[in-house]
Structure 1
């Protein structure tokens, strides 16, 4: 496999070495080698985003490195190309996030967390600023504010309703308004924005939706003015409280809060309304100890520094899959662990977003897991010792009728001195169908999407 020099291997910064070591350049590769057989119906682009500081840069935190997009073009059973490009934001060009007058430049961001398609546009996302529009060949078009209507940051985890086609999202901030809800039409027009009252600025990385509700996660990781010079000035505050909020989508701004045990959630799996009228949320939950280990390894500050913080899915073991049931009739919340294993980056068949979904796909050390949340069972696909599998992106089969009829795409890193491959699995049986060898090492990143070709 092709290799790329690790320009930061001499450092002890966890997110700049090993599987996370940045690459130093942008390349194009064509007619990629394929092992096995690519399903001919996979016609489109696999796109993935992640932090990738330029040579010599030490950003201070995983979340603040410049965003780099990686793309693989599949068509008619062939892997036509691979390419990678930095997102050319104003931060990439040297602009400061905080201007001299104290205001924030929402274009001076890393755009390093996710890449999505909505209304025939592609956006690179990060939660502290505006989205950046990019092309299907990964070139940067520029910041996008939906005709001047978006004046807050945009989360990296918007939710598209599979029935209405609307895109729901939010922005959060250290200063008021701390939380703002937004709704895009299926055509991409920003049609609703509403402030949501919370007690302080919290790091709200994700949220959930159902057919009738939005679920807010008001959790105890807050902006910390004592760390004003830090790259990610956040801290866990036991005194803040921990709660989930239900907001009806037809009454934006009115939230009913449910107290839960102290925890933090980076990523949601899904949510739905059950037959009893309760709202059921499934997500990856961290307690204080597992959060501190994760956060310190990413470059964040914790109140009690750990001598050996571990890393994302190694010694740290990630968070655990949990389920919460929120009952609007009683005002009570019930929570339970669904598994003891450490996992992260849950995904589903997005056609079930906000509706009941039986299957949840997650990443763990050296493996991808498939949860059957109805039967309480799991299936595992091992990627090999020393590997770092990426988020499993679900692609529905063209003629599939079952929820798990489709494919999982995962970019797997084999280490800083080896290569990477795009795995294609049968989602139902968790069996490998094909592997596309990358022409260069692809660092472990964060989130991605499948963008299918338009069909006539």
Structure 2
């Protein structure tokens, strides 16, 4: 029996609550498809060449206990654009845990919100939860890396076939796990990463060089175990975070994983030279308490590090919850604003201010200038719904503070939308923005293509798909020239 034919999860009622992240646009899809002849409304631009990939949860077996989105088996949905045509395929990421459950024909792990004591194994930090590789997806050295929210093995994936190439050890130089949100500096070819653990009062930070080997690793001490989600890079520095979302040590002692927001703590930012020592070279900057899921970009201006983020003022909307499920739903309902920090390396001073008051998250920029000054970011507008849904696309101009917006329409929900440079592109708006859109009325998805110069004009083309693309997490764009480099390397 193929994985596409095996039983998939259905919504369960636990504590008398149906889990919305197993219903509607979040429900898993059954089939792994490969489709070449897709219906198109409008015309796909011929200078849009590359692959749009998006990762997200799609569990194959119903597991005991309460379901969390980070439990679902990773599945990548991809659309390959070439000379005005589009091809779609979706594939599970064949992680070690996915393979073991496939062979067993049933779930072997409970979820993030359950006691993991009977789970077969977990990550290298002693967190006994299934590494599903379902969170982020980035390109490094010709292959896509799929990574997981709570630090797991980075899994290599072919950007065209979506074949899983296995857990990556970077030429036998890397051990341990990576956090989901790593950064690739296209100017140097380096992959910069970090990780943490539920029992460790430190972050580990390292670099995989352009040749594919680990070239640097160091530790940055923390006051206690923390749960940072993202990092930032500039041309010469890395910014790591110590934020007030912390591990519940009493729950940890009982064998459970639980986090809480400690408002008595400040936010701290570690600025470290890219190849610096985490003990002797780090500079700490303090700011008002908050949480940051996603960084937009960072860069250097004289003696200052400038960092733009999506800042969550209060990631825990109340201090007590009636049920564990309501706790999870509260954390997944984001309230984030575009925000700027300035860290002055000469004076040690931090400046911070909001850039916009809209509820905006899941940002993307032109990946070619990561770590260098940007003007435009492409963001998702968070819907006023109890679940994590995006009802619009927002292009924000950080130079003027203005934005362009497009709303998908009633019952239509988008996905993280990367910038896709046109062939010969010369700037941050010289290209397109692509996003999956689910339509609740039809139960189908499509890929909408926008001209990055004018988001408000609506899609220039819509590629219609025969099934949904379940709402999930992060996406990337792989350019045609990057695909050619990967093929040449083979």
**What's the TM-score once normalised by structure 1's chain length?**
0.88
Q: Are residue 388 (structure 1) and residue 413 (structure 2) matched?
A: yes
Q: Are residue 36 (structure 1) and residue 42 (structure 2) matched?
A: yes
Match of 1:60 in 2: 67
- Deviation (angstroms), 1:400: 2.6
- Deviation (angstroms), 1:420: 0.8
In structure 2, relative to structure 1, the CA distance for the partners of 1:110 and 1:310 (3 Å cut) is: closer
In structure 2, relative to structure 1, the CA distance for the partners of 1:167 and 1:102 (3 Å cut) is: closer
**Aligned residues of 2:74 and 2:134 also touching (Cα < 8 A):** yes
CA RMSD of aligned residues (A): 2.9
CA distance in 2, matches of 1:106, 1:188: 29
Report which structure shows greater RCO (CA 8 Å, sep ≥6).
Answer: 1
Long gaps (5+) in structure 1: 294-301
Q: Which has the higher helix share?
A: 2
Map 1:305-454 onto structure 2 (within 5 A).
305=321, 316=333, 318-364=335-381, 365=383, 366-415=391-440, 418-430=443-455, 431=457, 432-453=459-480, 454=483
The counterpart of 1:286, out of the listed 307, 312, 315, is 312
Map 1:126-275 onto structure 2 (within 5 A).
126-127=148-149, 128-135=151-158, 136-176=160-200, 178-228=202-252, 232-253=257-278, 254-274=281-301
Match of 2:139 in 1: 117
Cα offsets for 1:243-273 (capped at 9, x unmatched): 1121111423221111110100000000111
Long gaps (5+) in structure 2: 1-7, 102-107, 110-118, 384-390, 486-490
- Deviation (angstroms), 1:370: 0.6
- Deviation (angstroms), 1:21: 1.9
CA distance in 1, matches of 2:22, 2:85: 33
Number of corresponding residues: 439
SS in 2 for 1:45: strand
CA distance in 2, matches of 1:408, 1:9: 36
**Aligned residues of 2:445 and 2:464 also touching (Cα < 8 A):** yes
SS in 2 for 1:268: strand
In structure 2, relative to structure 1, the CA distance for the partners of 1:226 and 1:413 (3 Å cut) is: farther
- Deviation (angstroms), 1:111: 0.4
- Deviation (angstroms), 1:170: 1.0
**Aligned residues of 2:123 and 2:152 also touching (Cα < 8 A):** no
CA distance in 1, matches of 2:240, 2:296: 14
Cα offsets for 1:179-211 (capped at 9, x unmatched): 111111122221111111122221111010111
Cα offsets for 1:6-55 (capped at 9, x unmatched): 94387621322232222233223221111111111222221110011224
SS in 1 for 2:221: coil
SS in 2 for 1:238: coil
Moved more, 132-141 or 66-75: 132-141
